Amino acid sequence: MAITSIASQNKIRIAQQFSRAANTYNSAADVQLDIAFDAMAFLPSHYKTGLDIGCGTGRISQKLSTRCDNLIAMDLAFGMLEYAKQNTVLADPSISWLQGDADSLPLADNTVDMLFSSMVLQWSDNPLKVMSEISRVMTSGSNAILAIMCDGSFNQLNDSWLNIDSQRHVNNFASAQFWCDAAISQGLHVNMQEKQYVTWHQDIRMLLSSIKSIGANVVLKSSEPTDTAFSQSKNTFNRRTLQHLETYYQQKYAENMQLPLTYQVCFLHCSK
Ligand SMILES: C[S@@+](CC[C@H](N)C(=O)[O-])C[C@H]1O[C@@H](n2cnc3c(N)ncnc32)[C@H](O)[C@@H]1O
């Protein structure tokens, strides 16, 4: 029997969850769109070959492609790529769709003039490796614009779960400084900014559903990856657990009867 590493198992799970969410992603991912637009403000006006790492449904790739001669839109999740291919309105011939992993880019050295990635790299199990891959494929004088979820994201949810049990229900996010240092260690010049985004939800089910609808409901564990408790909520115990979670979250964080969820994002503008 083949032995699959924990990292590979996690990756398979990430790809499966995002593939499953391809049809619901665009209607649920408003904050991701805001973040991508903020990241795009750092883009150069024109470039020759661009790479969108973690293109998802392709809605950003389409915009990126208007500023370059060729765009490679890459994602780990086959389902996301299929959706992107079928739903790209202009079927822009300058976009090449590619399945691949940010931790091991399937591209030759010094081939990308502009590299973009929004809300993806926090899924990497190895930030140093990912930055070394990014630096490797960038041409001299090129830019990379990276928006990454970092430390402080989902803090209300994490705190509320910690009040319920000792299991891990929310992924660890590396700090913005950690990502910045990782990029610098790979020879990149980095300008970093951080920004906080908050989404508001009527109740805990809707809050957890906002995560599940975009496919981000994989909790990476050192042994086995599991879905968030929301996806296991069919049994009575979990319904009760959710009620406790809701009560704590409401009491501690609700404002105007709405539950906040924080996305802490670092924007790295890297040049080589
Ligand atoms: C939150 S979505 C962001 C999609 C798009 N960039 C946007 O802003 O709408 C994250 C995407 O990253 C992809 N992804 C996760 N890990 C990845 C990896 N190691 N390499 C490439 N893509 C990955 C997922 O499949 C998913 O499509």
179-211: per-residue pLDDT in tens? 999 999 999 999 999 999 999 999 999 999 999
Query: Does any ligand 1 atom lie closer than 6 A to the CB of residue 71?
Result: no
Query: Does any ligand 1 atom lie closer than 6 A to the CB of residue 171?
Result: no
User: Given 3-state DSSP classes, what are the helix, strand and coil percentages for the chain, each rounded to the nearest 5?
Assistant: 40, 25, 30
- Percent of the chain having pLDDT more than 70? 92
CA-to-CA distance for 261 and 248, rounded, in angstroms?
14
pLDDT at 250: 97
What DSSP state is assigned to residue 67?
T
User: 268 pairs with which residues across the strands?
Assistant: 146, 192
Q: Which of 184, 45, 62, 183 is nearest to 114 (CA)?
A: 45
Q: Are 13 and 74 in contact (CB under 8 A)?
A: no
Query: Does any ligand 1 atom lie closer than 6 A to the CB of residue 218?
Result: no
In the predicted structure, residue 8 carries a pLDDT above the cut 90: no
pLDDT at 233: 37
Other C-beta atoms lying within 10 Å of the C-beta of residue 234: 7
| Top-confidence residue, 92 or 53 | 53
pLDDT at 238: 78
Helices vs strands, H then E, count in the chain: 10, 9
Q: Whose CA is nearest to atom 14 of ligand 1?
A: 54
- State which of 51, 63, 78, 123 you would mutate to test the pocket of ligand 1, scoring each by most atoms of that ligand within 8 A of its C-beta: 123
Furthest C-alpha separation in the chain: 58
Q: What is the mean pLDDT of residues 226-233?
A: 44
pLDDT at 94: 86
| Top-confidence residue, 205 or 219 | 205
- State which of 76, 124, 130, 148 you would mutate to test the pocket of ligand 1, scoring each by most atoms of that ligand within 8 A of its C-beta: 76
pLDDT at 210: 95
In the predicted structure, residue 39 carries a pLDDT above the cut 60: yes
pLDDT at 113: 96
The one-letter code for the residue type at 126 is: N
pLDDT band, residue 225 (cuts 50/70/90): very low
CA 179 – ligand 1 centroid, Å: 17
pLDDT at 3: 56
Query: Does any ligand 1 atom lie closer than 6 A to the CB of residue 211?
Result: no
CA-to-CA distance for 52 and 66, rounded, in angstroms?
13
The one-letter code for the residue type at 123 is: W
pLDDT at 4: 72
For domain 6-271, give the CATH number.
Answer: 3.40.50.150
pLDDT at 231: 42
In the predicted structure, residue 271 carries a pLDDT above the cut 70: yes
CA-to-CA distance for 267 and 190, rounded, in angstroms?
10
In the predicted structure, residue 166 carries a pLDDT above the cut 90: no
Give the chain's mean pLDDT.
Answer: 91
Residue 59 alpha carbon, nearest atom of ligand 1: 9
Kindly state the tokens that stand for 79. 């389902």
- Three-state secondary-structure class, residue 72: strand
In the predicted structure, residue 237 carries a pLDDT above the cut 80: no
Q: What is the mean pLDDT of residues 22-50?
A: 94
CA-to-CA distance for 37 and 24, rounded, in angstroms?
20
| Top-confidence residue, 11 or 239 | 11
Q: Domain map of the chain by residue range?
A: 6-271
Say how many residues make up the chain: 272
CA 75 – ligand 1 centroid, Å: 6
Other C-beta atoms lying within 10 Å of the C-beta of residue 120: 23
Q: Which of 59, 101, 105 is nearest to 78 (CA)?
A: 101
In degrees rounded to 5, what are phi and psi of residue 150? -130, 180
CA-to-CA distance for 272 and 183, rounded, in angstroms?
10
